[in-house]
């Protein structure tokens, strides 16, 4: 089988890059839903329907496991699909397919606590508040998924979310870096004034933003730790395969890139990030 990696566009390549590095002998099919990007401003029902269609497409391409390399799809659609669609779809296909998201691994990395952990209530007294900034799409921000899930585990972490409606489309279009730097600086300034001081740590909670991680680093105070989703997702997938030896990840011979949008090359911004020319086929 191949591992499918799905995003509304090129952002998931940030996760994909790390997965290819971590699983060099696995087969991979990447799908960018560029005909419908961005997802971040869409209503929830549309995000669910588009994510389901993307998963179906990847399963039809021979993937047994799909990683939603998209916070918006993971936060808004994943649970719904796991509960209401996947059980019946597995019976229909007659094989044990699965879909995994990237928010749980990120929260585990941010809190140092596994998913199953329910934080012990230690009373109201918190010695020192750790302020975590999450930059994300408007849909992810509105879902409050990071606030809710982190609060279940850690009362000493305060989460502030900054919606960045312009960034994923700008990165998708390959906007020049100086313009991206100015937009990112504006979001960092906005969240800093809302918090009243600089955050202690930050999550780039949209996979597109990882492509410009250096610009976030430059806009945040020097040394602000960033929690990297690609790394967290790759670590979680290693643990997943240990628990699920039934998934055979292939031979390393398949590396396909599909798009529902315009096939061919991506922008120079994306190619510079990827480190090699990339050519997409029509999905």
Give the footprint of ligand DGL on this chain (CB under 6 A): 7-9, 11, 37-40, 70-72, 137, 140, 168, 206-208
Q: Which of 183, 121, 116, 194 is nearest to 154 (CA)?
A: 121
Task: State residue 202 phi and psi, 5-degree precision.
Answer: -145, 150
Judged by CB, which is closer to ligand DGL: 1, or 132?
132
Of the residues 55, 63, 164, 206, only one is catalytic, namely 206
Residue nearest to ligand DGL (CB): 40
Judged by CB, which is closer to ligand DGL: 167, or 219?
167
Q: Is the CB of residue 269 less than 8 Å from the CB of residue 211?
A: yes
Structure tokens at 89: 């779809």
Q: Is the CB of residue 250 less than 8 Å from the CB of residue 1?
A: yes
Least distance to ligand DGL from the beta carbon of 36, Å?
A: 8
- C-alpha 186: how far from chain center: 22
Give yes or no: 206 in active site: yes
Q: Cis peptide before 38, with omega less than 30 degrees from 0?
A: yes
- Residue 123 to residues 127, 152, 156, 203, Cα–Cα distance (Å): 11, 14, 11, 27
- C-alpha 19: how far from chain center: 12
Report the DSSP beta bridge partners of residue 98.
65
Q: Which residues fall within 8 angstroms of residue 220, CB to CB, at 6 or more apart?
A: 188, 198, 199, 202, 226
CB atoms within 10 A of CB 165: 14
Least distance to ligand DGL from the beta carbon of 207, Å?
A: 4
- Residue 59 to residues 30, 181, 241, Cα–Cα distance (Å): 12, 37, 18
Question: What residues act catalytically?
Answer: 70, 206
């Amino acid at each position: 089988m191949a591992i499918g990696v799905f995003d509304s566009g090129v952002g998931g390549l940030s996760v994909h890059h790390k997965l290819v590095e971590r699983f060099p002998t696995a087969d991979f099919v990447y799908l960018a839903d560029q005909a419908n990007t961005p997802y971040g401003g869409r209503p929830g029902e549309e995000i669910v329907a588009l994510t389901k269609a993307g998963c179906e497409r990847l399963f039809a391409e021979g993937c047994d496991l799909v990683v939603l390399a998209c916070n918006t799809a993971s936060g808004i659609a994943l649970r719904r699909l796991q509960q209401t669609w996947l059980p019946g779809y597995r019976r229909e296909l007659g094989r044990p397919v699965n879909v995994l998201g990237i928010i749980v691994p990120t929260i585990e990395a941010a809190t140092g606590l596994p998913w199953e952990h329910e934080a012990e209530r230690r009373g109201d007294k918190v010695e020192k508040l750790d302020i975590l900034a999450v930059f994300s799409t408007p849909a992810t921000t509105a879902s409050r998924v990071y606030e809710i899930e982190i609060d279940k585990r850690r009362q000493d972490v305060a989460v502030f979310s900054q919606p960045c409606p312009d960034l994923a489309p700008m990165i998708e279009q390959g906007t020049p870096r100086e313009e991206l730097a100015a937009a990112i600086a504006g979001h960092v300034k906005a969240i800093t004034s809302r918090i009243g001081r600089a955050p202690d740590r930050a999550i780039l909670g949209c996979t597109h933003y990882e492509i410009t991680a250096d610009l976030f680093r430059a806009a945040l105070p020097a040394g602000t730790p960033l929690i990297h989703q690609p790394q967290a997702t790759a670590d979680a997938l290693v643990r997943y395969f240990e628990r699920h030896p039934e998934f055979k990840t292939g031979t390393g011979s398949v590396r396909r890139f599909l798009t529902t949008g315009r096939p061919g090359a991506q922008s120079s911004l994306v190619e510079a990030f990827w480190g090699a020319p990339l050519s997409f086929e029509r999905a």
